[in-house]
Structure 1
């Protein structure tokens, strides 16, 4: 933090807050920034952007913390028209996996789509598109694991015989730009993946979700009513059915779910996990001999890596199979009242509303739609011309200027909010 005398907002008075965290938290100083400066500050931090009919924000208020969220908005002009790709990736334990999948997956997915369309003579088969989207994500994650295995082609038998120094000699190759080191890092770290495709006529939406990002589709059925559908699955270890499924798959392992986390380490679970995070997918020898010897810091906020490794008996504990949703919009368009909106976001946005005791995602999403849908093309003086920024402002506190000021300016080390990425796509 800057010193008090040289604080960039030094002209505004200070106050103290516990951010609503209760006894033992804080208090921390924050700046009581008034409007319109408060809105200008929010826009400067959230970096609102618009690409075509997609409004975007990337938000992390702690300037010293880099965001591990990434997003993609692409148009693919193919023989049968222009397809749209939207994606959000939320990295954890580091940003290498998120960066790599964001750079790699779109090209692989586009090639697979073109191949499928050529085979079908450019007719769209919704099931085929669902399958290729799912297979592209699974194939990507499998490739990370295969890259790891290829470093030690003798497998576990070879690895067990190697000393720690011999393992380090293979994986510490920074003098040659570190391709081996990068392969290990992408397996040690992880990322969620929320990927959506929309066909040229906007008759079909496909959404693949791996992890706990959220996709919601809103259809305005009359001037005051939105019909909202959740198009992503959020499987985590607080869901009773998920806990029971994990325990059934790994009988006798008392710590397979600990403190609402898989092996006490990660909240996403078997059916929709994350890409990477191979500590939960490979034999413990790979973890203890390779991951623990890597230069890349290997850490989880919830447990020490060596403690997690000690709990591994029957991997995998996570799969890489995405939840798939397909929506046919042809009939919906007839009564949509002219507005159909798709919102994709990282879990940080949902957490904002959970913190405000608004856990019903569908009810929250109805408010998102109202805020995010209306196109506001372009008064450059209007800070809130961007629909994604309007949604973010609501989550931070809406008209409660003091709450928004707290979350923007609290003088705390480390992250007090998760990274937040939001895409608002107006289909019509």
Structure 2
């Protein structure tokens, strides 16, 4: 999930001939453990989970021609989306995804809770590994699990009594569906979850506890949906097994008025862009990654296993020498007892299903860290993204890019005179100011696209088209050497609405 040093690798790679490039790629790949669980069980009915295997280079007289600026823009804008809201603390959000893997292992989900008293907004970024199955499935299910945990007990009971169930979350930009046989399994799990909530839900809603309950319950269901049928009649469903064996990290935000909660499992991140009194941008990083750069996380893992495993539980900056994130959903290769892996996973995927030095599982948890931030009028936007973006740019660089984009994107809209009976001289001054300001007009209306463009092609002098075109034209097996899948959501806050919220 972590890209190599992009600048060093790129500067070396671009100067080589084809044969040398292939040798460098082979050398790089031999040092990385790459595993792919190929059983998916998920059918997209549009090209949301698209292929990047076919390169974007054009052959002309036997030589490869890089995509033009217009073709680059088409590639970057393929998955962008925008949603505006008539009221509330979020005015709008932009989102986009760019694949590096084939198929893309990232996904995202956004929606508004329909039954919770505050009609809160939920948004999630999910970064898969070991294949796309787990990320795709939890993106379809997790917001509902969290929304259900946010309901008071009377609304839980009302929902259970409904013959035709009302949707808990109104989702946006939902382009894919789960295959019918899995949908039945998932509906049964969710109904059982709702019944459990009815007996345990409290009148007072605790958002942090609701996040934890929803995430952990879905993770438990991913396991139960494999093991219960197996224990009953020895049957193994390869679709549910592929979801349980692949994994995904997640970053989910809950926004209700001035209240922002962010739950994080793994190494996605959420950053707030704040404007100071001096009109300077500040990046407030809300989340903390669960990886080996987090000393508290390392101490937690070491404390959960015997001292004689200290050298094996974390090796090569990875869990058991294999997994970069130290918390995730799915990934039951690091959670199930070895006996279960031997009987359930090994027959289908081979002996590598059990990691080396696997003595005291579970080694992995899906328990989230949940952060709270009270929004102020100075908080202008929230950026949520998978580590594919954060590997390329810093939080402050991202905030400054979105801040500049906010200033420039107003020029996508027609000019409106500020008042009636305005004098011709004032109109001329307004037009001159607009003409000068148009120089800062961004190339992309969508802020998520703007971030991705600069993350891939940005230099200290601006976006380098040659660099951008080269990186977008690589086939997936080569592209992954330079960058990861990228998923970005930028949510804009309504400062005036937040200003009027009670303190």
Find the counterpart in structure 2 of residue 345 from structure 1. Answer: 385
Per-residue displacement from partner, 1:345-375 (whole Å, max 9, x unpaired)?
A: 011111223xxxxxxx443343243245458
Radius of gyration: which is bigger?
A: 2
Find the counterpart in structure 2 of residue 149 from structure 1. Answer: 227
Worse overlay, 235-244 or 205-214: 235-244
Indicate conservation of the 8 Å contact 1:375/1:387, yes or no.
no
Helix, strand or coil: the match of 2:488?
strand
CA distance in 2, matches of 1:195, 1:267: 20
- Which residue of 98, 123, 135 maps to 1:59? 98
Shift of 1:69: 1.2
Provide closer, same or farther for how the CA distance between residues 18 and 255 of structure 1 changes in structure 2, counting only shifts above 3 A.
Answer: closer
Unaligned 5+ segments in structure 2 are 1-7, 26-56, 58-63, 85-91, 157-202, 415-440, 495-503
Find the counterpart in structure 2 of residue 195 from structure 1. Answer: 252
Helix, strand or coil: the match of 1:205?
strand
Helix, strand or coil: the match of 2:364?
coil
Per-residue displacement from partner, 1:190-216 (whole Å, max 9, x unpaired)?
A: 1111111111xx210111011111111
Find the counterpart in structure 2 of residue 305 from structure 1. Answer: 352
Provide closer, same or farther for how the CA distance between residues 265 and 213 of structure 1 changes in structure 2, counting only shifts above 3 A.
Answer: same
CA distance in 2, matches of 1:364, 1:193: 22
Indicate conservation of the 8 Å contact 1:18/1:25, yes or no.
no
CA distance in 2, matches of 1:375, 1:114: 41
Shift of 1:34: 4.4
CA distance in 2, matches of 1:420, 1:265: 22
Per-residue displacement from partner, 1:71-90 (whole Å, max 9, x unpaired)?
A: 11212344744321111111
Shift of 1:68: 1.5
Shift of 1:38: 3.5
CA distance in 2, matches of 1:148, 1:365: 41
Structure with greater helix percent = 2
- Which residue of 403, 409, 419 maps to 2:485? 419
Provide closer, same or farther for how the CA distance between residues 266 and 368 of structure 1 changes in structure 2, counting only shifts above 3 A.
Answer: farther
1:291 pairs with 2:331? no
Indicate conservation of the 8 Å contact 1:56/1:389, yes or no.
yes
Find the counterpart in structure 1 of residue 276 from structure 2. Answer: 221
Structure 2 length as normaliser, TM-score? 0.64
1:367 pairs with 2:417? no
Helix, strand or coil: the match of 2:358?
coil
Find the counterpart in structure 2 of residue 69 from structure 1. Answer: 106
Indicate conservation of the 8 Å contact 2:129/2:247, yes or no.
yes
Find the counterpart in structure 1 of residue 448 from structure 2. Answer: 388
Indicate conservation of the 8 Å contact 2:443/2:450, yes or no.
no
- Which residue of 277, 284, 288 maps to 2:331? 277
1:319 pairs with 2:394? no
CA distance in 2, matches of 1:414, 1:209: 30
Per-residue displacement from partner, 1:330-351 (whole Å, max 9, x unpaired)?
A: xx22xx1xx5101110111112
CA distance in 2, matches of 1:383, 1:257: 44
CA distance in 1, matches of 2:153, 2:287: 24
Helix, strand or coil: the match of 2:11?
coil
Find the counterpart in structure 1 of residue 213 from structure 2. Answer: 135
Provide closer, same or farther for how the CA distance between residues 150 and 373 of structure 1 changes in structure 2, counting only shifts above 3 A.
Answer: farther
Provide closer, same or farther for how the CA distance between residues 317 and 61 of structure 1 changes in structure 2, counting only shifts above 3 A.
Answer: closer
RMSD between aligned alpha carbons?
A: 3.2
Helix, strand or coil: the match of 1:384?
coil
Count of aligned residue pairs for this structure pair: 356
Indicate conservation of the 8 Å contact 1:188/1:276, yes or no.
yes
Find the counterpart in structure 1 of residue 122 from structure 2. Answer: 85
Helix, strand or coil: the match of 2:210?
helix
Provide closer, same or farther for how the CA distance between residues 109 and 21 of structure 1 changes in structure 2, counting only shifts above 3 A.
Answer: farther
Find the counterpart in structure 1 of residue 76 from structure 2. Answer: 42
Per-residue displacement from partner, 1:262-290 (whole Å, max 9, x unpaired)?
A: 11110111xxx110001111111222221
